[in-house]
Amino acid sequence: MKTMKTMKTMKTMKTRASGLVVTALALCAAPITSHAEDGVPENPLKEAYFGETHLHTGVSMDAFIGGNRLTPDDAYRFAKGEEIKVNGSMHKIKVPLDFCAVTDHSEFMGEAFSLMNEGAPGYDDPIAKSFRDATDLETALMLYGKYVLTPLASGKDPHPPFFQGAEAIKSTWKKNFEATEKHYQPGKFTTIHAYEYTSAPGGGNLHRNVLFRDTNVPDMPFSSNESPDPEKLWEWMKVQRADGKKLFAMPHNSNESKGLLFCEETLSGKPITKEYLELRSSNEPLIEMMQIKGNSEVVPQFWPNDEFADFENATSLQDFNDRKFMKKNFVRYGLTRGLKYRQDMGINPFKYGFVGGTDSHNGAPSNVAEDNWNVGSHGLADQTAAIRSKATLDGEMKVSDLNPGAITGVWATSNTRGAIWDSMAARETFATSGPRIKVRAFAGQGFAEKYDSYEALVKDGYEKGVPMGSDYKGDKAPQVLVWAVKDPIGPNLDRIQIIKGWVENGELKDKVYNVVASGDRLKEDGSVEPVNAPIDLKTGKFNSEKGDPELKGVWTDPDFDPKEEAYYYVRVLQLPTARWNLWDELRNEGVKFPEEVKKQIVERAWGSPIWHEGA
């Protein structure tokens, strides 16, 4: 019996190490809102909290086969600034996060349980074993293709043979839940229960991250194995909501959506109905603007007049999977198309505020600093500088086209789950391409021309206007009060722009306005003298003289028509900084990226839109 005993001890040890304190915590017995939230002080003017809203650990099977053995527990530790072994080397983020949501794929969560937990049913299955034992990417991908992708594409049961059924999914979901509970420190560090729904019919990305407000979560997440049609996800969410649960979904990578995200008909080919619009808009307040696999705002080919459209476009996505760029794959198009749905049918299904994420499959949340991306994002595929300079990512895109990902900013009254989730649901959010730039905007009437005091500006913003993510209801041309401040450890700001979208005689229109610029560079005609502050290519250092640390101003729409549908969102540009590949070259002798890979970039923040709904 000696052997048996040892095995049991080992099993207990494993549970202890990963589940630690909270293994006894039953899902349904937990209090819904932590009492600890009660004592956290609130700031009615709100603070900007930064966090991750899109992250995979070893629980996501594609991350697992890429070599990731980190757990949600490790990911939260990393988010708090602790050093952990990421993708083969010890690593930490430069600036700890305020909040974090781990969004493992709900598909194959059961498989993950069998793969990762010794003693679990299915653990010893030869196929499960071969997954675990795969040490090189090629083998791992072959297995993934054979046992997951091929069955998925053929519409057959996508579960590999070692799948143990729903109970295994529940076990994994519960383990993620426990780690998320364990790391929540109201007022200091917020964790959010979440997962990713991963549907990509015909290679068109319709993925959604689903975030829960509190501990009232279902015992099993809805996955694309149940249905690849997001309508079914929304219906499931509606049922959850009727059951008292609070949740929303956020699509991402519209750039990979093959026209399916901002659609003209339902996925099943039926005409869009009012019910569809209602269902969709009630479930999706936010969209991920940017992540490792590209910025989805705009691309130059469809927005030639936007001089800053050429930014982390991940153009090599088009070389694979027939994912040719189309105008209707980009967020600005979606926002404007949504206005037209509102005009034609009364509801805007694409009324999206902005978040940013990484989609890192390394279990390393918001590892977004360009000068701290030594460990890559997708396991073996982009692990070292030498690999990154040459490789492609799983037949999806060139690694040199990846970026470290984006981050979400939330204006909330306190750093608690409730406050952060509520502000996200209300879209009072912004996304940045990585830097901790803060931006806020209000639309209203009667703002002062100039505010010396920040607090007076914010108070007036709320008193005389509405914040980002809301509807401006006036019938006079809106004044938009904008404010932005630099990342304390980054360069100064170049300018603030407002992007207006509207529908004119049935046509979708949008225009970029320069609203505030550092120095005296904003001209009468609305153009801006370029800031001309290149980085030092030999050291990677940015210009620390030019630009302004804080920008603010009031802009009034010169072409307002109260009958028209419109939105206004803010874009803040910072001075140029070195792109990650330049740091790779500077730090690793012999590493050379192709000439066409940009060495410097203009990082930015996007504030969620404010809408004006037409008559």
Partner 1 sequence: MIPRLLKEPFVHFVAIGAVLFALYQTKERLAPEEEVEDKDRIVIDQQEYDHLKELWKIQWKRDPSPGDIKALLDRHLRQEVFYREALKMNLDHNDEIIKKRLSQKMEAVANDLSALTQPPTDERLMAFFHDNDDFFKLPRSYQFQQVLFLANETDVDARLQSTLGTLRQGGGIPADRVSKAGLKCDWPLTSVHDLDNAFGGDFTRSLEEAPLNEWSGPIRSGFGWHLVRITTRQDSVLPDFETVRDYVAREYDYRSEMESQDRVFEELLGKYRVNITAADVPAEIKSNFVAP
Contact with partner 1 (CB under 8 A) among 37, 111, 394, 487: 487
How many secondary structure helices (H) and strands (E) does the chain include? 15, 26
Contact with partner 1 (CB under 8 A) among 135, 268, 305, 453: 453
In one-letter notation, the amino acid at residue 417 is R
Check binding of 77 to partner 1 (CB under 8 A).
yes
Q: Closer to partner 1 by CB, 1 or 24: give it.
A: 1
Check binding of 488 to partner 1 (CB under 8 A).
yes
Residues 545-574 binding partner 1 (CB under 8 A) are 548-550
Tokens of 160: 């590999």
- Rounded to a whole number of angstroms, the minimum distance from the CB of residue 576 to partner 1 is 17
The residue among 523, 489, 572, 536 whose CA lies nearest residue 308 is 572
- Binding span for partner 1 by CB under 8 A among 6-14, 349-357, 382-390, 575-583: 6-14
CA atoms of 132 and 116, how far apart (whole Å) = 8
CA atoms of 383 and 379, how far apart (whole Å) = 6
Reduced to 3 states (helix: H, G, I; strand: E, B; else coil), residue 379 is helix
DSSP code of residue 271? B
Residues 241-260 binding partner 1 (CB under 8 A) are none
Q: Closer to partner 1 by CB, 14 or 246: give it.
A: 14
Contact with partner 1 (CB under 8 A) among 339, 485, 578, 582: 485
- Rounded to a whole number of angstroms, the minimum distance from the CB of residue 559 to partner 1 is 31
- Binding span for partner 1 by CB under 8 A among 11-19, 191-199, 307-315, 564-572: 11-19
CB 314 within 8 A of CB 401: yes
The residue among 193, 206, 203, 293 whose CA lies nearest residue 251 is 206
Q: Closer to partner 1 by CB, 93 or 480: give it.
A: 93
Q: Closer to partner 1 by CB, 319 or 550: give it.
A: 550
Residues 160-199 binding partner 1 (CB under 8 A) are 164-165, 167-168
Residues 420-439 binding partner 1 (CB under 8 A) are 436, 438
Reduced to 3 states (helix: H, G, I; strand: E, B; else coil), residue 204 is coil
Instruction: Tell me how far apart the terminal alpha carbons of the chain are, to the nearest angstrom.
Output: 79
Tokens of 72: 């949600």
The residue among 180, 152, 148, 135 whose CA lies nearest residue 20 is 180
Q: Closer to partner 1 by CB, 77 or 175: give it.
A: 77
Check binding of 490 to partner 1 (CB under 8 A).
yes
- Rounded to a whole number of angstroms, the minimum distance from the CB of residue 372 to partner 1 is 13
Q: Looking at the chain, how many residues does it have?
A: 615
Check binding of 1 to partner 1 (CB under 8 A).
yes
Residue recorded with tokens 């940009």:
598
Q: Closer to partner 1 by CB, 52 or 62: give it.
A: 52
Site string for partner 1, 117-136 (x = CB under 8 A): -x--x---------------
Check binding of 526 to partner 1 (CB under 8 A).
no
Q: Pairing relation of β-strands 99-101 and 190-192?
A: parallel
The residue among 125, 214, 115 whose CA lies nearest residue 168 is 115
Contact with partner 1 (CB under 8 A) among 150, 445, 454, 504: 454
CA atoms of 410 and 46, how far apart (whole Å) = 9
Non-local (6+) Cβ contacts of 315 within 8 A are 299, 325, 401
Q: Closer to partner 1 by CB, 287 or 437: give it.
A: 437
Q: Find the farthest-apart pair of alpha carbons in the chain and give their distance in angstroms, rounded.
A: 87
Q: Which residues bind partner 1 (CB under 8 A)?
A: 1, 4, 9-10, 13-14, 16-17, 48, 77, 82, 84-85, 94-96, 118, 121, 164-165, 167-168, 436, 438, 452-455, 483, 485-490, 518-519, 548-550
